[in-house]
């Protein structure tokens, strides 16, 4: 794959996307960690037709692309990323419901809609099943790809089907029983760590939720959110939990806490004193600072517990 854009490529992108295409765009503006060097091209398609046209064009030109949502689980290195970054938050953001009868509803959520919006939609429509995701950042597409969740549940539990845009331009609906879910991952032919121009893109997810007249689940949602705010550092730039939990009995945050890593700093990056599995950007940190803390934490935890911590955050760029 090549990332080289010639004059015709640049002209086509400008003419087709207008103000919705930016060149040499700093990814620090588009990730929750607020770090990252420039992307060669950053495009926000305004509708699905533009998205499909862009994917087809990039595949034909063999130009690598990376699809992103809100950038909440993404770390872009300081030299940036040689690819077209495609944001789905404008072109794929609708959530709808269909009554299936017998108190069951089908909820279709597009990939660029936020998980927060889906949880709010469920609560407002008295649909139970999404409370486990209360407070988890990110979009539907990213949440499905990461099989996001907590000890109370994961996306796989409520997902019924996903709609994919295949590399050849075809659209396919795939049932959950045909999907390869694992802990914090859905395998779709790309590991998500580097751009590629030839992998399926999640367009939407279909969820089956139960209608209820019991108001207790709304109270539960408030308690879950309150508990998250109490335990997690709110108000700082971060990517949420940085490492995957090795097991339910040995969560990464507990291991890091026991290893004495809380409060460790590198430049303006800091391991949270409130929840050790959060690496914070306290102001003008670099990706290199955060990566240094990541490797340091991995070394210390391995030395003390003989456990290899694996990042949950996707690391891209150079």
Residues assigned a catalytic role: 184, 241, 312
Strand bridging mode 149-150 / 269-271: unpaired
Nearest to 241 by CA among 263, 274, 200: 274
**CA-based max dimension of the chain:** 60
Report how far residue 294's alpha carbon sits from residue 241's, in angstroms, rounded to the nearest whole number: 12
Q: What are phi and psi of 134, to 5 degrees?
A: -55, 125
Contact criterion met (CB below 8 Å) for 146 and 312: yes
Structure tokens, 111: 């990939």
Q: How would DSSP label each residue in 182-196?
A: ETTEEESS--SSS-B
Please name the residue that has the structure tokens 């490492």. Answer: 243
Q: How would DSSP label each residue in 202-228?
A: EEEEEEEEEE---THHHHHHHHHHHHH
**Hey, is 312 helix, strand or coil?**
coil
Report how far residue 49's alpha carbon sits from residue 268's, in angstroms, rounded to the nearest whole number: 42
Report how far residue 282's alpha carbon sits from residue 88's, in angstroms, rounded to the nearest whole number: 28
Please name the residue that has the structure tokens 């590629």. Answer: 196
Nearest to 69 by CA among 99, 109, 37, 100: 109
Report how far residue 148's alpha carbon sits from residue 239's, in angstroms, rounded to the nearest whole number: 13
**Residue 316 forms beta bridges with which residues?**
76
């Amino acid at each position: 794959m090549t990332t080289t854009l010639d004059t015709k490529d640049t002209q086509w992108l400008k003419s087709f996307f207008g103000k919705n295409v930016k060149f040499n765009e700093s990814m620090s503006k588009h990730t929750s960690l607020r770090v990252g060097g420039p992307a060669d091209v950053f495009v926000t398609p305004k509708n699905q037709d533009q998205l499909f046209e862009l994917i087809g064009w990039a595949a034909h030109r063999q130009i690598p692309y990376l699809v992103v949502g809100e950038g909440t689980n993404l770390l872009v290195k300081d030299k940036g990323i040689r690819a077209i970054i495609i944001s789905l938050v404008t072109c794929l953001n609708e959530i709808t419901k269909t009554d299936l009868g017998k108190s069951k509803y089908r909820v279709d959520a597009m990939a660029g809609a936020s998980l927060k919006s889906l949880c709010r939609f469920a609560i407002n429509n008295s649909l139970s099943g999404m409370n486990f995701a209360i407070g988890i950042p990110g979009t539907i597409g990213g949440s499905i790809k990461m099989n996001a969740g907590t000890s109370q549940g994961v996306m796989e539990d409520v997902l019924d089907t996903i709609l994919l845009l295949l590399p050849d331009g075809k659209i396919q609906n795939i049932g959950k029983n045909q999907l390869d879910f694992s802990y914090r991952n859905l395998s779709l032919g790309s590991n998500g760590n580097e751009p590629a121009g030839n992998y399926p893109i999640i367009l939407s997810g279909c969820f089956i939720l139960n209608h209820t007249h019991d108001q207790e689940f709304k109270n539960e949602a408030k308690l879950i959110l309150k508990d998250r705010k109490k335990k997690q550092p709110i108000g700082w730039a971060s990517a949420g939990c940085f490492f995957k939990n090795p097991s339910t009995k040995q969560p990464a945050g507990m291991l890091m806490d026991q290893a004495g890593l809380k409060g460790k700093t590198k430049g303006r990056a800091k391991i949270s004193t409130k929840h050790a599995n959060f690496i914070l950007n306290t102001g003008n940190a670099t990706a290199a600072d955060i990566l240094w803390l990541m490797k340091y934490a991995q070394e210390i935890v391995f030395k003390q517990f003989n456990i290899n911590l694996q990042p949950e955050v996707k690391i891209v760029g150079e």
